[in-house]
Structure 1
Amino acid sequence: MKRKITTSTVLLLIITLVLSGSTFACTDIVVGKNASTDGSVITSHTVDGRYDSRIQIIPAQDHKAGTMAPVYENIVYADHKDLVKLGEIPEVEHTYKYFHGAYPYANEHQLIIGETTIVGAPETANSDEAIMTIEQLEVFALQRCKTAREAVKLMGKLAEEYGFRESCYRGECLTVTDPNEAWVFEVFGVGPMWTKDSGKPGAVWAAKKVPDGHITVVPNISRIGEIPENHADMEDILVSDNYKETAVELGIYDETESKFFWNKVYGDMDNHPWEPGCSNRLWRVYNELAPSGNWKFENAHNYPFSVKPDKKVSIHDVIALFRDTNKNTKHDVTEQDGWFYENSKGEKVKSNLATPQVAGDMIELLDLNNYRPIARYYCSYFFVSQARSWLPDEIGGVVWFGLDNPENSPFIPMYVGIEDVPTSWKTLNRDKFDRDSAWWAFAQVDDFVNLRYGELREKVDSVLNPMQNHIFELQDQIEEKAMILNITEDQDAVKELLTNHTNSLMHWTENRYWKLADELYYEINNNNN
């Protein structure tokens, strides 16, 4: 359909285009249980931008009748900004233990959630009366739900009742998983005129189940397509009752049209400003996991919601994709002409400065054509998770967690049964260099390697690859020990074992990266030649 263009629409589109150059650009890869090698349900998240990377484990709690739960803004920036209370909602009698970060991501029942901001129709921008940010919705889902389907319904209900508070005129997507199902949940506001007293829903939302044998990826664009007329009779799709009525009221949908495409109406696909980075990530994942599809980069917006992979996908495969920088593809920025020069022998050679982690000034200076890869230097933290139905929750749910750039940092198994992490992983001050914060160890290595990538990449790999392989090798051993303890019904011993294992790996990797940073600094120091 053709959107009715108004002055306010043009203004909001301009704002969206300007803001699209920011680092609000996360990637989620999802794998259904029958598409994974071991039956895991997998989701993931690169938290790209300056966000709170501290790990906080919020314990389960009981609450007295009549207690109210606060609703906050700035959860994503809580390491350097004060929380702002926007309102409150009735508390429930019991809340579950969950893992809190910029975007809260897991609970004790193997409910695990990834997040990625998606571009939306500017007309959906809500009024200040809307209070439910996406991260606050995650908090409530993790505190109150055991399954992905239950979480989707609760978040949709809360967004409708209290209004979805958009950021930067965009929608939001959550990839919600449990040991049996994976869902893609998308939510948008209903326009700046909404008030809670209007009696109308303060959000529109839709959720689509990833088929058990499929994979999908959400790279900052809406992935839910057609909403069938008979959706109420379908088990794999959920949608708010007001989705069509609201679109008509906002002037972004003509009700005479025979079909309703969610990603075109609310996801604003025809006016999408984030190319080519989103298409590249979508193309890369589909091309790697289902190459038989012969995916054309230029047609990425028309890819199906999900696909069956050519072979089953392991947790290692998804981690490898999170390290991806377009190497050996036509979009490898390190192979572009700007990095090459003629040496004293008249040979054309690549500079050791050539790196896939390019910022705007380098792109302009060398006239590079940059296709944003999955792994980025401005990532705050990242994870790839497993939810496994055949294991007790404490052992079955594992979040492979890391700090800074996933290309250059290890993934550490953080089981949902653990009770604590090292203090340095709970500490963050991005405004000054801090050796008491683990984040700085990994960030420093990433900074140094990208100063002379051609020379130092191999040195980082010589540390990172054996380290990561050793961590992988320990997984079966530690889980076998945990299961023996579980059989004896010694749950405290299970939690202690897993906590000690995760903590020892975090201490080891952090300490080795502080040392590696010193080694790299020696290499780049211009007085050591």
Structure 2
Amino acid sequence: MSTFKKCLIALSINVAVVSSGFACTTLLVGNEASADGSMMVARSADSDAMKAQHFLIHPAKTNQTGVYSTKAHNGANNFTWPLPKNSLRYTTVPNWKTQLHGATGFNEAGVGVSGTESIFASPKALAFDPYVEDVGITEDDIPDVLLSQTKTAREAIALLGHIIETTGAGEGFGVAVVDDNEVWYLETATGHQWMAQRLPSSQYFASGNQGRLQSYDAKDPNFMGSKTLVEFATEKGLYDQKRDGAFNFSKAYTRDDERDRTYNDPRVWTIQKQFTPSLKQDVAAGRQFPVFATPEKKMTLDDVKAVLRDHYEGTEHDPYSKGLNGKEPWRPVSVFRTYEAHVMQVRPWLPKEIGEVSYIGLGMADLTAFVPYYSGLKAYPANYIIGTDKADSQSIYWKYRKLQTLTMTDYPKLAPIVKRAYKDWEDKIAKEQKEVEAEYLKMAKTNKAAANKMLNDFNLRVMADAEELTESLTNQLFTLRTKDIQSDIFFANAAKKD
């Protein structure tokens, strides 16, 4: 069997195995934990490689009436919520089919939302308060509802919590929200119970498809939760103070079984091992991992992007570098079915136009470019708002995805080429960003409109450069694979003359 066929079979096995469950990985970084004082919210959105993503700018609207409706967009269920009278301008990166499930975005007030991390309540807890699957809020709706009307992260968390308590959660999820001052993370417990905690500024938080929050203090302003969070758990026997000691949200409400040992725990363990190497903990002791940890070295943007690209390189659990292994028990952060990954960076000391940047990598994080998108960007190119579940030659999503698919047919040989090219490009753009941002600050003092145009033109050029590089890499790899396949099936005659 040819090398090409073997790789295609391995790739199909890998996709089939990992597509059987939900997935995402989240990393939050406080401003005192980062090298430059910024806050960062990072997440890989993992579901289906066929899920083309669009980039949308939702304009501000006034004097609205009526309701937001998931069903009207052919979304997950029939959730509805009153539209705000005056809606803020905001961005999302949604699913091509519904224009919902917006993944990541900022609004004009500086609130950023990343949602969601799929998490799971325990069957026992759900028996008392099931998810409201028919009309409860889901990841389809969260970005649009929160970004259209909230002006602080705390307000956004409170609104989402109110919706969960009144209308219900249609599924289990974790949601990160950031503004100029703080980062919050909310986790659902059951259909109507929830908890949220403010990220300590000197620490980071990592999660991989499991309830991670633990301690809760209703009197502490760094916590929020449903009104009956502890009482409900006590009443239903999910929590007993004499038996359990202090209330532990994760222990009381969330699932913790053999599925976590290989699918979830290794991702969190690896992230904490990387940034806090002095932590000595069993990879299977997920419930005992610290919720928040202090990095032993300040964390950079590149560090955070590296987490999203991680697949246990250099270890026996790497499922790609020695040929594709879809039977690897440890689920890596970077999987082929990631449809987008992002790092939302907030630098409060800068104007919002340049202080809020979303670095978005389309497709598999390990094999993509994290392109910066400034909040000051005025519009996206036409090929950023097209693309379906069928490959095409125009949409920005499929340009990245086709390169990644080709690379995976011989990962050991081709991936280093792609990764090196994208790293060199990201390093070059990072230097240019510093120059452009400095120029923006100077220009904005006397001519804000000119500064905004300069920033917009720069951002569009960066996007075009990344697209051009991707097309060039695709052609380069096709050339190599053409030579490889010809070599495998040359069928020369004995004299090798024709």
The TM-score by the shorter chain falls in which range?
A: 0.7 to 0.9
Give the SS at the match of 2:78.
Answer: strand
Aligned to 2:262: 276
Whole-angstrom CA distance in 2 between matches of 1:319 and 1:128: 34
Q: Is the 8 A contact 2:75 2:140 kept in 1?
A: no
Separation of aligned partners in 1, 2:38 and 2:422: 25
Q: What is the distance in 2 between the residues matched to 1:250 and 1:43?
A: 35
Q: Does 1:463 align with 2:414?
A: no
1:372 aligns with 2:331: yes
Cα distance change, pair 144–409 in 1 and its aligned pair in 2 (3 A): same
Q: Do the aligned residues in 1 keep the contact of 2:346 with 2:356 (CA within 8 Å)? A: yes
**Distance between the aligned counterparts of 2:189 and 2:410, measured in 1?**
43
CA contact (8 A) 2:344 2:357 kept: yes
Residues 67-216 of structure 1: pairs in structure 2 closer than 5 A: 67-72=65-70, 82-83=74-75, 86=78, 88-100=80-92, 101=94, 102=101, 103-114=103-114, 115-122=116-123, 123=126, 124-128=129-133, 130-166=135-171, 171-190=172-191, 203-216=192-205
Name 1:518's counterpart in structure 2.
Answer: 475
1:447 aligns with 2:447: no
Q: Distance in 1 between matches of 2:250 and 2:238?
A: 12
Query: 2:369 maps to what in 1?
Result: 410
Letter in 2 for 1:452: D
In 1, the alpha carbon distance for the partners of 2:55 and 2:308 equals 20
Where 2:24 maps in the other structure, the secondary structure is coil
Moved more, 398-407 or 436-445: 436-445
Distance in structure 2 (CA, Å) of the matches to 1:21 and 1:146: 36
Residue identity in the other structure for 1:294 = K
Give SS of 1:507's match.
Answer: helix
Q: Is the 8 A contact 1:63 1:91 kept in 2?
A: no
Amino acid at match of 1:105: G
- The answer to whether the 8 Å contact 2:77/2:134 transfers is no
Q: Displacement, 1:19?
A: 11
Matched, 1:259 2:264: no
Q: Secondary structure at the match of 1:233?
A: coil
What code does the residue aligned with 2:330 have? Y
Q: Secondary structure at the match of 2:84?
A: coil
Normalising by structure 2, we get a TM-score of 0.85
1:226 maps onto 2:215 in alignment: yes
Q: CA deviation at 1:179?
A: 2.2
Instruction: Give the whole-Å Cα distance in 2 for the aligned partners of 1:240 and 1:61.
Output: 31
The answer to whether the aligner puts 1:389 opposite 2:389 as a matched pair is: no
Moved more, 308-317 or 473-482: 473-482
How far is 1:528 from its partner? 3.2
Distance 1:19 1:132, change over 3 A: farther
Match of 1:29 in 2: 27
Preserved CA contact (<8 Å) 2:105 2:143: yes
**Map of 1:193 onto structure 2:** none
- Identity of counterpart residues, as a percentage? 24
Normalised TM-score (structure 1): 0.80
Q: Deviations over 1:332-372 (max 9, x none)?
A: 3458xxx6xxxxxxxxxxxxxx14xx43xxx2xxxxx3311
Describe the shift of the 1:135–1:128 C-alpha distance in structure 2 as closer, same or farther (beyond 3 A).
closer
Query: Is the 8 Å Cα contact of residues 30 and 203 (structure 2) preserved in structure 1?
Result: yes
**Which of the residues 318, 334, 338 maps onto 2:304?**
318
Q: How many residues align?
A: 455
Does the 8 Å contact 1:71/1:85 carry over to 2? no
Q: How far did 1:470 drift?
A: 1.0
Structure 1 residues not aligned, in runs of 5+? 1-17, 76-81, 191-202, 340-353, 364-368
User: Structure 1 residues 188, 272: closer, same or farther in 2, change over 3 A?
Assistant: farther
Taking a change above 3 Å as real, the CA distance of residues 495 and 458 of structure 1, as seen in their structure-2 partners, is same
Q: What is the SS of the residue equivalent to 1:384?
A: strand
User: Any idea what SS the aligned residue of 1:27 has?
Assistant: strand
Find the counterpart in structure 1 of residue 318 from structure 2: 332
Residue number in structure 1 paired with 2:492: none
The question of whether the paired residues in 1 share the 8 Å contact of 2:79 and 2:135 is answered with no
2-side partners of 1:87 and 1:273: how far apart?
A: 30
- Give distance in 1, aligned partners of 2:258 and 2:162: 28
Return the offset for 1:384: 0.6
Q: Secondary structure at the match of 1:94?
A: coil
Taking the aligned partners of 1:127 and 1:308, their CA distance within structure 2 comes to 37
Offset of residue 84 of structure 1? 6.7
CA drift at 1:73: 5.1
1: CA distance, partners of 2:218 / 2:231: 16
| Residues 276-306 of structure 1, C-alpha deviations (whole Å, 9 max, x = no match) | 1311110111111111223431323311110
Paired residue for 1:78?
A: none
User: Which whole-Å deviations, capped at 9, do the CAs of 1:371-393 have from their partners, x for residues lacking one?
Assistant: 11111111111111111110111
SS in 1 for 2:330: coil
Query: For 2:441, what is the secondary structure of its paired residue?
Result: helix
Give the match for residue 224 of structure 2.
238
Higher alpha-carbon deviation: 297-306 or 216-225: 297-306
Q: Quote how far apart the aligned CAs of 1:494 are.
A: 3.8
CA–CA separation in structure 1 for the residues paired with 2:426 and 2:360: 12
Q: Which residue of 2 aligns with 1:498?
A: 455
Counterpart pick for 1:436 among 394, 397, 400: 394
Conserved? CA contact 1:48–1:381, under 8 Å: yes
Q: What is the Cα-based RMSD across aligned positions, in Å?
A: 2.4
**SS in structure 2 at match of 1:328:** coil
Q: Which amino acid aligns with 2:119?
A: I
Shift of 1:249: 5.7
| CA positional deviation for 1:235 | 2.0
Deviation at 1:462, TM superposition (A): 3.7
The Cα shift of 1:272 comes to: 5.6
Give 1:85 deviation, angstroms. Answer: 7.2
The residue that corresponds to 1:480 in the other structure is: 438
Alignment CA distance shift 1:512-1:502 (3 Å): same
Tell me the CA shift for residue 310 of structure 1: 0.1
Point out where structure 2 has 5 or more consecutive residues left out of the alignment: 1-15, 95-100, 488-498
